[in-house]
């Protein structure tokens, strides 16, 4: 009997388009969507409110007690902390600037990895009494193909040239991609990737991970390229 593809893991550097592409792929395939970066961002908001960001032990303790609820609907993926919608605050410049500090805390990584695996297992469980959906999930984030879900059915590294990534993030954040706007975006893209690369590997595809380079593709073409990788994996599992 053929098995359907249920876990799709997508990682890649800042500005590669992994969030919007992952959401669109999940929506097209009727799967849940998990933004692991949003979990690190929520952990940053929570730590800024309840811990000392310069004290790794206090940050780790805060994150272990974090009352986080992740919404998994790709059309409206919410993030709640203690019943409060934090979808907007987690995207603030202050959080974007500080998130690598929290994400490089190994105790925080261990706790979020545990939560992420729990969510993926729930969404792929076939035990109906435990989980009503069990349809599968698209999970995206820096270490998802290598550490969190190395056994995912499909693993994609979504990448793009530095120039393309800076241009996209600049348009997203400043609404323009002139020289000044691109320069102002460099910290968010290049410095953050450099800091994140100290604890996660997302620049080069690991064994078995398919690279999709979106430098010369528009959004729809990138979504189609990822869907093609999924279809190929689906065909391979059906033959097996
Ligand atoms: O994808 P993003 O920009 O929303 O991610 C926010 C930060 O979280 C990013 O700087 C790196 C970190 N992150 C991580 O370390 N591991 C993940 N799986 C996802 C994000």
- What pLDDT, on a 0 to 100 scale, did the predictor assign at position 128? 53
What atom in ligand 1 is closest to the CA of residue 19? 1
Say what the pTM is.
0.90
Q: What domain range includes position 219?
A: 7-233
pLDDT surpassing 80 at residue 129? no
Q: How far is the CA of 74 from the centre of ligand 1 (A)?
A: 18
Give the mutation target among 9, 14, 23, 40 for probing the ligand 1 site: most ligand atoms within 8 A of CB.
40
**235 C-alpha to ligand 1 centroid (Å):** 31
Ligand 1 in reach of 37 Cβ (< 6 A) = yes
Q: Is residue 239 part of a domain?
A: no
Question: Which one of 99, 108, 150, 190 would you pick to mutate in the ligand 1 pocket, going by the greatest count of ligand atoms within 8 A of its CB?
Answer: 99
Does the structure show a pLDDT above 50 at 1? no
Predicted local confidence at residue 239, as pLDDT: 79
Residue 193 lies in a domain: yes
> Is 1 within the bounds of a domain?
no
Number of domains present in the structure of the chain? 1
Is residue 137 in some structural domain?
A: yes
CA angle in degrees (0–180, nearest 5) for 22-118-230: 30
User: To test the ligand 1 pocket, which listed residue (11, 21, 93, 103) has its Cβ within 8 A of the most ligand atoms?
Assistant: 103
**pLDDT, tens digit (0-9, with 9 covering 90-100), for 18-33:** 999 999 999 999 999 9
Residue 78, in any domain of the structure: yes
Query: What per-residue confidence (pLDDT) applies to 134?
Result: 58
240 in a domain, yes or no? no
125: CATH: 3.40.50.300
Q: What is the pLDDT of residues 171-216, one digit of tens each?
A: 888 888 888 888 888 887 888 778 877 777 767 778 889 999 999 9
CA nearest to 159, candidates 204, 96, 224: 204
Residue 81 CB–ligand 1 contact under 6 Å: no
Report which ligand 1 atom has the smallest distance to the Cα of 18. Answer: 1
pLDDT given for residue 205 in this prediction: 78
Contact (CB, 8 A) for 190 and 47: no
């Amino acid at each position: 009997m053929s098995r359907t593809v249920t876990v799709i893991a997508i990682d890649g550097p800042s500005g590669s388009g992994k969030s919007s592409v992952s959401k669109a792929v999940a929506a097209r395939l009727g799967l849940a969507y998990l933004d692991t970066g949003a979990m690190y961002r929520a952990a940053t908001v929570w730590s800024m409110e309840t811990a000392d960001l310069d004290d790794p032990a206090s940050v780790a303790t805060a994150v272990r007690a974090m009352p986080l609820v992740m919404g998994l609907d790709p059309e409206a993926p919410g993030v709640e902390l203690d019943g409060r919608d934090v979808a907007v605050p987690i995207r603030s410049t202050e959080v974007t600037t500080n998130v690598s500090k929290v994400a490089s805390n190994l105790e925080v990584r261990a706790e979020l990895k545990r939560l992420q695996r729990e969510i993926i297992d729930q969404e792929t469980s076939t035990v109906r009494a435990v989980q009503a959906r069990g349809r599968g999930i698209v999970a995206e984030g820096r270490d998802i193909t290598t550490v969190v879900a190395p056994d995912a059915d499909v693993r994609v590294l979504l990448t793009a040239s530095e120039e393309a990534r800076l241009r996209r993030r600049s348009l997203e954040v400043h609404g323009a991609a002139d020289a000044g706007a691109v320069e102002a975006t460099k910290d968010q893209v290049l410095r953050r990737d450099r800091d994140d690369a100290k604890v996660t590997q997302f620049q080069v595809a690991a064994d078995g991970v398919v690279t999709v380079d979106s430098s010369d593709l528009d959004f729809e073409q990138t979504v189609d390229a990822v869907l093609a990788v999924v279809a190929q994996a689906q065909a391979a599992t059906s033959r097996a």
